[in-house]
Amino acid sequence: MKILFLDQSGKPGGAELCLIDIAKPYRDRALVGLFTDGSFRKLLEQNHIPVEVLATQAIQVRKESSLTQGLKSLGQIAPLITKVVNRASKYDLIYANTQKALVVGALASLFSRRPLVYHLHDILSQEHFSQTNLRIAINLANRFASLVIANSQASKTAFVQAGGNPNIIKVIYNGFEPKIYKTSESDIKQLKQKLGIEGQFVVGHFSRLAPWKGQHILITALAECPPQVTALLVGDALFGEQDYVQQLHQQIAEMGLENRVKFLGFRSDIPQLMAACELVAHTSTSPEPFGRVIVEAMLCGRPVVAAKAGGAIELVEHGINGFLVTPGKSQELAQVITTCLQEVETTATMAKNAQAIASQRFDVTTINQQIAQLLSQYASDQPTR
């Protein structure tokens, strides 16, 4: 089976990292078409996955865009669709990995007569998308997609509630390679020294810096924790969210926490950084579609505290393999952090259980087998050229 994968992003987010894992088994008979150039292309090349940048400039439509803004982008999309149609003739299947990829992939599917699979990495609700974008996504999926793969029950539920066809959607969680998340004690010690966090109780936060990701909630909670608690913020602003970064710095200064919060920006050594933490916090204020960071922390053998909403509820069982707190409640978060600081053995046992469960439940080999079985049912029976 030959697959044409489509993705709008030039930067590797959760959906893009998931795509790499899915595309690897097909690397000798696949192409990833990107709508923007950037570090994601380089990452695909490092994994020996064929990639081509199909657009010269980013499509100027965002999740909150109106119909008028969407119509203005048609001039950009038309040449892109033509390119995708030409590429699709050589493949059995079009695999749209993002929202913009769905729009382009749906029309390319129509003209190339190739089946379309849409991988849903979002919760399709008005918390995240404009009404126009929601309507477009649902209508295109219903009309053109042979299959929609949702990354959680939460994503599936939102899709159906928004008007999506329940008969075309299946839930398959993201897959992970457990061995990638193993780090030696000597490497952890060296990294802690380099970061200047030896002897501290380190709480890590791993996501882009954005209001709905809730870094401000962790900072507020930090002020209520013992002084040895330090926070690492790994990630940076995307999509014009620099104002939020300035707000975080201002909040930290007003609370006198300058020496207890470190901004590390985007990093490639996520497993090592997670292993250097005593606790990993997930603080999203809106429901998370999946929660990749949560599973990664579990695989690193680190305890997790997550906002009790969306996909996180499917990953974390409170008191068994992690902690759940009410979204936006910094006091609850501070209480969990303090508990982890004080009850080291109990927390370590919980983290060990989480590591064992996650290694089995989200093993990438098993996940890819599930996806392959689904795709084989929908691949085009037309001869490729």
CATH 3.40.50.300 holds for 178-361: no
Buried b (16+ CB within 10 A) or exposed e, 162-181: bebeeebbebbbbbbebeeb
pLDDT over 80 at 220, yes or no? yes
Q: What is the pLDDT of residue 385?
A: 43
Could you give the residue range(s) of every CATH 3.40.50.2000 domain in the chain?
Answer: 3-175+364-378, 178-361
Q: What is the CA radius of gyration of the chain?
A: 21
Is the CB of residue 33 less than 8 Å from the CB of residue 23? no
Q: What is the pLDDT of residue 238?
A: 79
Mean pLDDT in residue range 114-143 = 94
Q: What is the pLDDT of residue 380?
A: 56
Q: What is the pLDDT of residue 70?
A: 47
Buried b (16+ CB within 10 A) or exposed e, 281-311: bbbbbbbbbbbbbbbbbbbbbbbbbbbbbbb
Lowest mean pLDDT, pick from 63-67, 244-248, 273-277: 63-67
Please write the tens of the pLDDT for every residue from 75-95. 568 899 999 999 999 999 999
Average per-residue pLDDT for the chain = 92
Is the CB of residue 312 less than 8 Å from the CB of residue 319? no
Q: Give Cα 225 to chain centroid, integer Å.
A: 29
CA count, 13 A, side-chain hemisphere, 291: 31
Identify the three-state secondary structure at position 219.
Answer: helix
Query: Residue 199: exposed, middle, or buried by beta-carbon count in 10 A (0-12, 13-18, 19+)?
Result: exposed
Q: What is the pLDDT of residue 77?
A: 87
Measured distance CA(342)–CA(311) in Å, rounded: 28
CATH 3.30.210.10 holds for 3-175+364-378: no
Is the CB of residue 238 less than 8 Å from the CB of residue 213? no
pLDDT over 90 at 72, yes or no? no
Please write the tens of the pLDDT for every residue from 170-219. 999 999 999 999 999 999 999 999 999 999 999 999 999 999 999 999 99
Mean pLDDT in residue range 228-243 = 91
Mean pLDDT in residue range 360-364 = 96
122's tokens: 């979002």
66 band by pLDDT with thresholds 50, 70 and 90? very low
Is the CB of residue 322 less than 8 Å from the CB of residue 298? yes
Q: What is the pLDDT of residue 75?
A: 59
Measured distance CA(302)–CA(336) in Å, rounded: 14
Name which residue leads in pLDDT, 373 or 74. Answer: 373
Q: What is the pLDDT of residue 379?
A: 76
Measured distance CA(67)–CA(271) in Å, rounded: 41
